[in-house]
Structure 1
Amino acid sequence: MEWSSSLYLWSTGFAFAWGALWGSFFNVVIYRLPAGLSVITPPSHCPHCKTRLRAYHNVPVLGWLFLRGKCATCRAPISVRYPLVELLTAVLSAALWLRLASPDAGFDPLAAIAPFGLLFLFLGSLIVITFIDIDYRIIPHEITLPLLALGMVSSLVNVSVTGVGWKESVLGALVGGGIIWLIIQVYFWLRKVEGMGGGDFVMMAMLGAWLGYASILFILFAASLQGTVAAVVLYVSGKSLPQPAIPGPGWGGSESEPDPPDPGSVAQPGLPDGGFRSMELPFGPFLALAGLEWLFFEPWIRTTVYALYGG
């Protein structure tokens, strides 16, 4: 089947809408999963007055604009982060479709559907992990472990789905997770405190399973560099991230439902007593960012690295 310009345009628009709809669900997961709540029931409601949202209130991005960022019943503010997550997911979904189904990629449009579906699941997991880690400093195994297994199984069943062979996938998981595990052990041995948690270890293994062992060094370098830049910016501005919220009962918290953090929280003034070296910054968002950079820009990254170091 050959692409026509109209089919290409409409399918990209569908991918954008698909991403926006799932972005709305990702907001639910980000809010409820750490709180130990079901992501299915009850239906979406205002966290302040508990009023159930009407269908048109749930329209991604537009619903927030229609409500002017406030609950229709109690007028409590609705964080701008909700439409931003929806918009981010929509843009990345459309970009993923363009990457896979572009005529330049040599893909039959029907053949691009399976890779798109699986890679969208991977992409979505990175979005959810990012915001949960920012809010709670936790990377949920409920997301990373199934995605780790799915990445390896997908590569084993059909290499064309992820573009990574099963040997590359398994080796990527082992090398990626192994390096983070080693860093955790060495850091603890040197400073007698944990520098990273087990969630980072499993997340890096997940990234290696989906993107292959060739991505590992870039992801570690890019994540560390971008994390350092973010830390310097916060330090210079005299700010730090809000304190992490307390997870729900399924996460070792109390039996009562916690109050998840306000997604609109901004950085607060003040630095830890130890200064720059003692700043706490979640590493998961930077691993996710580096993974997305490899997913979308792998050919350019390989070409650039070869040009710089390959002669």
Structure 2
Amino acid sequence: MDLLTSFATFIVFALGASIGSFINVVVYRLPAGLSIVSPPSRCPRCLHRLGKWENVPVLGWLWLKGRCRHCQTPIAIRYPLVEAVTGLIFLLVFWRFGFSVQTVGYWIFCGWLLALSLIDLDTMTLPNPLTQSGLVVGLIFGVVASFIAQLPLNEVAHQLMLSVLGAVLGIWIFDAIALFGSLALGQAAMGAGDAKLAAMLGAWLGWKYLLLTGFLACAVGAFIGGGAIALGILSRRQKMPFGPFLALGALITIFSGEAILTVYFRLIFPAL
């Protein structure tokens, strides 16, 4: 059993790291308007096409000692870090949900969130192709998962409606926050992409966990933003990407959302 567990752990991490390698491609090429399919991975300076061993996630970077084998241009350490983090996330999801359709769904969801977070950090944008496709995939996956679970058609329809409600609620709430925040601050308080990301989160998580995700994102964002202002890293008027905080809130919700809500309702409604 230990051997089987070790083998499964290796396979899951390797799969996650490979997805992380593709996420690196998406994060670099999508904002630049380049194809994410072709050309194959290559050095951005000398345009040398990477070989099979050079393309191995994490290990390829270590083997090359962080430099292009041909022109010796340094390769940013972010690439293997993204691959390793994606592999770790895949492992955490697998350990939490085991061999299940839920695991596959959360792998897809987390991959989308990681790509969006990195793009937001780099460009302060959340590309429509990713948020919109993520929303559609979330709705489709919810239906497919319901059928796999052999739920009655009325239950499938109910789950779909909850996902649609979550998506609509997400874009309404964050559009409202952006509007009133802009009026209060006298400048744009939130980008349009954040509302679209919230709609995607609602499609995947449903309205209840969307609200929890939004609360966690705001709490963490306020804490980190306030700390950065206090330390002089950011000014009060300086913009800060909110997408990574939404993604972090969603990740916490995936693993601990039910427990957090249970504790919350026990504190608020102790008699129930």
1:192: Cα distance to partner?
Answer: 4.1
1:66 maps to: 63
Cα distance in 2 for residues equivalent to 1:307 and 1:46: 55
1:91 is aligned, of 55, 63, 88, to 88
Task: List 4+ stretches of structure 1 deviating above 3 A.
Answer: 4-9, 160-164, 189-192
1:289 maps to: 248
1:132 is aligned, of 99, 115, 119, to 119
Residues 113-152 of structure 1: pairs in structure 2 closer than 5 A: 114-152=101-139
1:14 maps to: 11
Contact 1:155–1:161 (8 Å) recurs in 2? no
TM-score by length of 2: 0.89
1:31 is aligned, of 21, 24, 28, to 28
Contact 1:46–1:52 (8 Å) recurs in 2? yes
2:268 maps to: 309
Deviations 1:47-72 (A, max 9, x none): 12222112111111111111221221
Deviations 1:184-211 (A, max 9, x none): 1222333442211211011001101101
Structure 2 residues without counterparts, runs of 5 or longer: 150-155
Contact 2:212–2:257 (8 Å) recurs in 1? no
Deviations 1:279-308 (A, max 9, x none): 211000000000011011123212322232
1:75 counterpart = 2:72: yes
1:234 counterpart = 2:235: no
1:184 maps to: 178
Q: Which moved more, 1:230-239 or 1:159-168?
A: 159-168
Aligned-pair Cα RMSD in Å: 2.1
CA 1:27 to 1:33, structure 2 compared with 1: closer, same or farther past 3 Å?
A: same
1:206 counterpart = 2:200: yes
Q: Which moved more, 1:229-238 or 1:47-56?
A: 229-238
1:116: Cα distance to partner?
Answer: 2.6
Cα distance in 2 for residues equivalent to 1:184 and 1:24: 34
2:153 maps to: none
Cα distance in 1 for residues equivalent to 2:148 and 2:118: 27
Q: SS of the counterpart of 2:136? A: helix
Q: Which moved more, 1:156-165 or 1:121-130?
A: 156-165
Contact 1:154–1:161 (8 Å) recurs in 2? no
1:51 is aligned, of 32, 35, 48, to 48
Cα distance in 2 for residues equivalent to 1:145 and 1:161: 24
Cα distance in 2 for residues equivalent to 1:280 and 1:48: 31
Which one has more relative contact order, counting CA pairs under 8 Å at least 6 apart?
Answer: 1
Deviations 1:59-102 (A, max 9, x none): 1111111122122122222111111100110001111111221x
- Report how many residues are paired: 263
Structure 1 residues without counterparts, runs of 5 or longer: 102-108, 241-274
2:239 maps to: 280
Contact 1:46–1:71 (8 Å) recurs in 2? yes
Q: Which moved more, 1:170-179 or 1:224-233?
A: 224-233
Q: SS of the counterpart of 1:57? A: coil
Cα distance in 2 for residues equivalent to 1:74 and 1:27: 21
Q: Which moved more, 1:231-240 or 1:48-57?
A: 231-240
